[in-house]
């Protein structure tokens, strides 16, 4: 039986959201997913449909979202639906919505030097085998500086500073590039790589996204084996208390 995925793209055109969505669609179809592609946030309005999915792939940079849509996604992911995305399409979405940032694991704050910075992506040894066999590689793109959740499991990093700026007065830091986290019974996957379609198409980057999609979509099976109802109820109660826009 095919797994099902929903890709929702939009927001700032500079990230080429439609082109990236098509690349993601191709990857998922190669993995035998049934894929729906939408360019409307209204796609998050049907909570029962979201809960029937195996994977949600957001690719929407900046903009505003109705709070009820974020709550619908949060409940679906907590019940086992995977959430996976990249770059500003997932962790620079809806800057005024802290519930979204809490669920996804972080948010973009800067890219010193803007596009065209050459930097290394360093694969980290961790408890996760997700990136096994992928070697460190060089990227010429935006280098994302993120504020991130200390609960995430970091699978790849990049070293700052590479480009001059006020941040360079601090000691060198290793910033996450790829991470995973749990949200209830759901798997959440993020990669900061993917400024435009040419970066997403890089062999290393597309392989990272492929593995992330497959891993995130495994949460549904685990949820069936656990008592999802109690976790789902707890998350719903918590997010209902927030003051998100």
Predicted confidence (pLDDT) per residue in 176-215, tens digit = 999 999 999 999 999 999 999 999 999 999 999 999 999 9
Where does the pLDDT of residue 232 fall: very low under 50, low under 70, confident under 90, or very high at 90 and above? low
The CA–CA distances, whole Å, from 149 to 17, 37, 91, 196, 226 equal: 25, 29, 12, 25, 25
Where does the pLDDT of residue 240 fall: very low under 50, low under 70, confident under 90, or very high at 90 and above? very low
CATH class of 3-107+180-239: alpha beta
pLDDT at 234: 54
pLDDT average, residue stretch 80-107 = 98
Q: What pTM was computed for the model?
A: 0.92
For the chain, domain boundaries: 3-107+180-239
Dist. CA 203–CA 115, nearest whole Å:
20
The model's pLDDT over 43-55, given as tens digits with 9 standing for 90+, comes to 999 999 999 999 9
Q: Using DSSP bridges, classify how beta strands 173-183 and 186-191 pair: parallel, antiparallel or unpaired.
A: antiparallel
Alpha helices in the chain (DSSP H): 17-30, 47-52, 67-78, 87-91, 98-104, 197-200, 203-216, 219-225, 228-239
Q: Using DSSP bridges, classify how beta strands 3-11 and 153-160 pair: parallel, antiparallel or unpaired.
A: unpaired
Give the residue from 242, 245, 233 showing the smallest Cα distance to 67: 245
Residue 144, burial from CB neighbour count under 10 angstroms (0-12, 13-18, 19+): buried
């Amino acid at each position: 039986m095919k797994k099902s995925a929903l890709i929702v793209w939009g927001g700032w055109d500079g990230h080429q959201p439609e082109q990236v969505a098509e690349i993601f669609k191709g990857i998922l179809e190669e993995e035998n997913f049934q894929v729906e592609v939408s360019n409307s946030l209204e796609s998050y309005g049907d909570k029962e449909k979201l809960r029937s999915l195996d994977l949600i792939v957001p690719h929407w940079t900046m903009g505003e979202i109705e709070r009820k849509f974020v709550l619908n996604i949060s409940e679906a992911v907590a019940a086992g639906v995977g959430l996976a995305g990249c770059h500003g399409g997932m962790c620079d979405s809806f800057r005024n919505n802290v519930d979204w940032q809490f669920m996804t694991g972080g948010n973009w704050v800067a890219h010193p030097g803007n596009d065209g910075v050459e930097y290394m992506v360093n694969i980290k040894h961790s408890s996760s085998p997700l990136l096994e066999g992928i070697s460190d590689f060089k990227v010429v793109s935006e280098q994302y500086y993120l504020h991130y959740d200390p609960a995430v499991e970091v699978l790849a990093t990049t070293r700052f500073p590479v480009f001059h700026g006020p941040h360079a007065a601090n000691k060198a830091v290793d910033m996450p590039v790829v991470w995973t986290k749990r949200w209830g019974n759901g798997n959440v996957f993020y990669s900061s790589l993917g400024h435009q379609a040419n970066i997403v198409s890089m062999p290393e980057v597309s392989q990272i996204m492929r593995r992330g999609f497959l891993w995130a979509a495994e949460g549904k099976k685990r949820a069936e084996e656990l008592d999802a109802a109690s976790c789902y109820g707890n998350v719903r109660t918590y997010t209902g208390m927030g003051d998100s826009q």
